[in-house]
């Protein structure tokens, strides 16, 4: 892939953010289908230059949110403001140019099979009535950006899924949008291709300052590239914040459940032996992040509260360059004073500690 953005690509619409102005602002959006509140008071902003991930389970309201954003659906109440313009009051004709400010990529790519790769990429410019030479020049520039120059004359059927999505990304950028809206864009791809597409999106975001709103049901996608995450459930935003802090300290049950697969869990062979009370060993779950996870927490703990403990599972991971970790400790012994001291020491270091239970003997 071309690692250098040409001056022609890095136009003002793509320049890095000078300030934190909002590209999209949703204010108390409500949309009901019969008795179902698909959106139940959603307020959100997408800031210029950021990658915001919206995650939710099936039926949470993600598609309705997207349709309200691109004007295909009118909310019952609330405002959709794109680059400072409230789209709710606009007629279909006024909506068209605003829609072009949003480039979209889709789970199933939505390429036109009868058109070549370069014509697919150039399609938004054709709709704008741009001359063919200009369209093809822009398509060539974008195919270079996504690393597919040699496929310009190929038809979509000759491409792999990952290549098709690269074409989709190039097409979404053709009209120099203010926002790239990614609707489950990696859900149909294998893990390796997913990683390469997410890396491409991150790269485009960094180098061109492109604002991205990414809708997904996979926490791994959020973790790989988003700056901020909003969790939607039953039409409401139940949690929102920088990705690393939501990973480190998920507040809602739905976030914890969405994180379930990628946060360390107590191995079954220990979890199955847990009992609420008794002798043997006490099993602690310790969640740490940021500064607390950077220091020498465990050796400091051993010095401050002498006596044995063992790390039985877990470790420190990195999310957005921030350490985020979960440690499972087994603390033997029946010194009733020691456990509260251990917990107090850890909490003073801003770790969250949970006593999961006890195992007879040792784990
Ligand atoms: N046109 C419609 N008519 C009736 N109910 C609808 C309609 N569109 C959405 N809903 C309902 O609104 C709720 C939110 O649906 P939505 O499609 O926005 O969720 P989603 O998060 O995109 O789900 P998925 O990931 O499965 O696509 C669901 O209960 C859905 O059944």
User: What's residue 6's pLDDT?
Assistant: 35
Task: Say how many Å lie between the CA of residue 61 and the centre of ligand 1.
Answer: 6
Residue 143 falls inside a structural domain: no
Domain boundary among 233, 259, 285: 259
Domain boundary among 221, 238, 259: 259
Question: Do residues 202 and 283 both lie within one domain?
Answer: no
Q: Which of 92-96, 98-102, 262-266, 340-344 has the highest mean pLDDT?
A: 340-344
Residue 155 falls inside a structural domain: no
Is the Cβ atom of 56 under 6 angstroms away from ligand 1? yes
Question: Do residues 330 and 273 both lie within one domain?
Answer: yes
Residues forming beta bridges with residue 96, ordered by sequence position? none
Q: How sure is the predictor about 4, in pLDDT bands with cuts at 50, 70 and 90?
A: very low
CATH code (residue 322): 3.30.70.260
Q: How sure is the predictor about 267, in pLDDT bands with cuts at 50, 70 and 90?
A: very high
Which residue bears the tokens 């480190």? 248
Question: Do residues 287 and 181 both lie within one domain?
Answer: no
> Rounded to an integer, what distance in angstroms lies between the CA atom of residue 253 and that of residue 256?
5
CA-nearest residue, atom 30 of ligand 1: 59
Question: Do residues 194 and 343 both lie within one domain?
Answer: no
Q: Are 99 and 127 in contact (CB under 8 A)?
A: no
Question: Do residues 240 and 287 both lie within one domain?
Answer: no
Residue 108 falls inside a structural domain: no
CA-nearest residue, atom 5 of ligand 1: 33
Spell out the residues 6+ positions from residue 21 whose beta carbon is closer than 8 angstroms to its own: 47, 48
Residue 347 falls inside a structural domain: yes
List pLDDT tens digits, range 146-204: 999 999 999 999 999 999 999 999 999 999 999 999 999 999 999 999 999 999 999 99
Task: Say how many Å lie between the CA of residue 32 and the centre of ligand 1.
Answer: 10
CATH code (residue 216): 3.40.50.300
> Rounded to an integer, what distance in angstroms lies between the CA atom of residue 48 and that of residue 19?
8
Residue 171 falls inside a structural domain: no
Write out the H or E segment, with its range, that includes residue 149.
none
Question: Do residues 96 and 190 both lie within one domain?
Answer: yes
Question: Do residues 85 and 234 both lie within one domain?
Answer: yes
Residue 293's domain spans which residues? 268-359
Q: How many domains is the chain partitioned into structurally?
A: 2
Question: Do residues 252 and 283 both lie within one domain?
Answer: no
User: What's residue 279's pLDDT?
Assistant: 73
Residue 32 falls inside a structural domain: yes
Residue 141 falls inside a structural domain: no
Question: Do residues 238 and 299 both lie within one domain?
Answer: no
Question: Do residues 302 and 226 both lie within one domain?
Answer: no
User: What's residue 363's pLDDT?
Assistant: 67
> Rounded to an integer, what distance in angstroms lies between the CA atom of residue 128 and that of residue 130?
6
Question: Do residues 97 and 213 both lie within one domain?
Answer: yes
Question: Do residues 276 and 254 both lie within one domain?
Answer: no
Residue 1 falls inside a structural domain: no
Domain boundary among 235, 259, 283: 259
* Token reading at 343: 């917990």
State the closest ligand 1 atom to the C-alpha of 184, by its place in the atom list counted from 1.
25
pTM of the model: 0.85
């Amino acid at each position: 892939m071309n690692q250098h953005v040409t001056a022609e690509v890095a136009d003002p619409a793509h320049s890095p953010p000078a300030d934190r102005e909002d590209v999209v602002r949703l204010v108390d959006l409500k949309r009901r289908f019969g008795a179902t509140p698909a959106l139940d008071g959603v307020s959100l902003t997408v800031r210029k230059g950021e990658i915001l991930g919206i995650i939710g389970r099936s039926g949470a309201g993600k598609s309705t949110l997207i349709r309200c954003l691109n004007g295909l659906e009118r909310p019952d109440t609330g405002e959709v403001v794109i680059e400072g313009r409230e789209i709710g009051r606009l007629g279909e004709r006024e909506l068209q140019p605003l829609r072009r400010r949003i480039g979209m990529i889709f789970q199933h790519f939505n390429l036109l099979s009868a058109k070549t790769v370069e014509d697919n990429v150039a399609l938004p410019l054709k709709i704008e009535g741009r001359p063919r030479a200009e369209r093809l020049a822009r398509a060539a520039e974008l195919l270079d950006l996504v690393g597919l120059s040699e496929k310009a004359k190929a038809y979509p059927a000759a491409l792999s899924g990952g290549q098709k999505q690269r074409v989709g990304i190039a097409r979404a950028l053709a009209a120099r949008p203010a926002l790239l809206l990614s609707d489950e864009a990696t859900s149909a791809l294998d893990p390796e291709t997913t990683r390469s597409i997410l890396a491409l999106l991150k790269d485009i975001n960094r180098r061109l300052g492109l604002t991205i709103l990414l809708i997904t049901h996979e926490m791994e996608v959020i973790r790989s590239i988003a700056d901020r995450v909003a969790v939607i459930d039953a039409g409401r935003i139940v949690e929102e914040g920088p990705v690393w802090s939501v990973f480190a300290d998920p507040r809602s049950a739905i976030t914890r459940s969405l994180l379930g697969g990628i946060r360390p869990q107590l191995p079954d062979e220990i979890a199955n032996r847990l009992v609420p009370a008794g002798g043997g060993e006490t099993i602690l779950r310790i969640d740490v992040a940021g500064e607390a996870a950077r220091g020498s927490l465990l050796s400091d703990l051993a010095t401050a509260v002498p006596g044995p403990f063992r790390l039985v599972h877990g470790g420190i991971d990195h999310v957005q360059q921030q350490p985020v970790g979960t440690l499972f400790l087994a603390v033997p012994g029946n010194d009733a004073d020691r456990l509260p001291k251990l917990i107090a020491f850890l909490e003073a270091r801003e770790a969250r500690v949970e006593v999961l239970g006890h195992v007879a003997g040792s784990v």
